[in-house]
DNA sequence: ACCTGAACACCGTTCAAGT
DNA sequence: ACCTGAACACCGTTCAAGT
């Protein structure tokens, strides 16, 4: 669909801007100044500002999903190790730029349907992958899915999770969550 | 708090505009043109555009609540008649301007916290009043509240109700609802 | 008390013209 | 293929000055 490489400069500048100032900061004129071109040139690559925002969402959601899948499918590790690897993606040194973008987009998604759809796609992919890993650990699908949701909520931060699920109890800490994750299947495996 | 009568012209023009074009249509400059003044004059009455929007919400929610209460407390009628009166407020000849405003504000509330708060206030007041009438008809508080919610949903239109409640089954029609309302307490009273 | 007029700064979008 | 330059239309906000 998109073979216009020139779009990427605008998309990246837009993502940097949304991280710094939120959606409202993503202005065609300001971006043009950042890129050292005039705002007229923007319309060679995009129909209008909305098209840029849509492309930013597309780029972001696709990137988040492939990054998560790549980490999950890393060869030579057990399901448990893969889970830890995924968790560490968001607890180790959480690329502050990436986190800022994610927060800004989730903020935006609170009042924009297209942004909400992108966030929902990303959340669904992450929950699906974590759920599959839990299934590999022996949980039946529904339990695995439930646990995936808990883990995701813990790791990402409940208030930021974009989901229709009812509110969960307060998360104690990431550490407790990881402990819980490890303890679960040695003592209380659902099926062997 | 607000003794500035000059504000009302702007608030009313703003409400007319939101009915016609939605929140985005409420522009200081356009309103000024409608009122036959220059936009500079706007700032005599309001700090900025946000203040106008807030005042519009305040005016709307207060107006909706007192209108509902006035209809509910009409003297010389039974609780059942009062319920019918309230229903007819929104089924008889539903002032199209008022309905348009209500729809526009609910649309706006989907992505604005202040608007959402105003809508929530209005919904809460309406639900409370209807619930009290059901209590007068003999339902215990929790049943009365549940039934009030159903009635409100039916009358106002489920898709428009701003509430965290889970989705209800499809409403058949206003007529069926009113029938239900009438039948309920002759055959299936919960407590006498 | 209320409004005008003019200015300022900042937008999105278009499009002929350049390279 | 990509960008400039200039224009157009439309904003929100400020404020000295009028009445």
B49 CB neighbour count, 10 Å cutoff: 16
Render pLDDT for B25-43 as a digit per residue (tens, 0 to 9): 999 999 999 999 999 999 9
Which residues in chain A land under pLDDT 70? 1-3, 75-76, 91-94, 150, 154, 157-192
* pLDDT above 70 as % of chain A: 76
Q: Nearest-CA residue to the C1' of C3?
A: B41
Q: B37 CA, D18 C1': separation in Å?
A: 15
User: C-alpha angle with apex B163: B133 to A119, nearest 5 degrees?
Assistant: 175
* Nearest nucleotide by C1' position to the A32 CA atom: D3
User: C-alpha angle with apex A39: A33 to A45, nearest 5 degrees?
Assistant: 115
Answer positive or negative: Cα dihedral of A33, A38, A43, A44: negative
| pTM score of the predicted model | 0.74
The structure tokens 């940097």 sit at A16
Half-sphere exposure of A87 toward its Cβ, with a 13 Å CA cutoff? 25
User: Could you tell me if B167 lies within 8 Å of chain A, comparing CB atoms?
Assistant: no
**CB of B30 nearer than 7 A to strand D:** yes
Q: Which residues 80-119 of A are in CB contact (within 8 Å) with B?
A: 110-112
Sorted by sequence, the CB contacts under 8 Å of residue B71 that are 6+ apart come out as B82, B85, B86, B89
| Spatial separation of the C-alpha atoms in residues A174 and A176, rounded to whole Å | 5
**CB of A4 nearer than 7 A to strand D:** yes
Given this model, what pLDDT does residue A170 score? 30
Q: Nearest-CA residue to the C1' of C1?
A: B44
| Spatial separation of the C-alpha atoms in residues B183 and A76, rounded to whole Å | 68
Mean pLDDT of B54-67: 96
Render pLDDT for A102-131 as a digit per residue (tens, 0 to 9): 989 988 887 788 998 999 999 999 999 999
Average pLDDT, chain B: 79
Nearest CA in chain A to B112: A111
- Report the interhelical angle of A174-187 vs A141-156 (nearest 10°): 160
- Report the interhelical angle of B79-91 vs B174-187 (nearest 10°): 170
Q: A116 CA, D5 C1': separation in Å?
A: 38
| Spatial separation of the C-alpha atoms in residues A47 and A49, rounded to whole Å | 7
């Amino acid at each position: 669909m998109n073979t216009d490489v020139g779009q990427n400069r605008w998309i990246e500048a837009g993502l940097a801007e949304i991280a710094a100032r939120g959606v409202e900061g993503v202005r065609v004129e300001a971006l043009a100044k950042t890129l050292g071109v005039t705002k007229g040139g923007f319309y060679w690559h995009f129909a209008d500002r909305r098209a840029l925002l849509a492309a930013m969402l597309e780029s972001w959601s696709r990137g988040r999903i492939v990054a998560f899948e790549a980490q999950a499918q890393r060869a030579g590790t057990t399901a448990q190790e893969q889970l830890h690897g995924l968790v560490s993606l968001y607890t180790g040194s959480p690329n502050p730029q990436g986190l800022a973008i994610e927060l800004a987009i989730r903020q935006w998604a609170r009042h924009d349907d297209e942004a909400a759809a992108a966030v929902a796609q990303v959340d669904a992919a992450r929950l699906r992958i974590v759920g599959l890993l839990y299934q590999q650990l022996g949980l039946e699908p529904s339990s695995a899915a439930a646990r995936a949701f808990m883990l995701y909520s813990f790791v990402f931060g409940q208030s930021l999770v974009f989901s229709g699920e009812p509110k969960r109890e307060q998360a104690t800490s990431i550490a407790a969550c990881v402990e819980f994750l490890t303890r679960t299947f040695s003592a209380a495996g659902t099926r062997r």
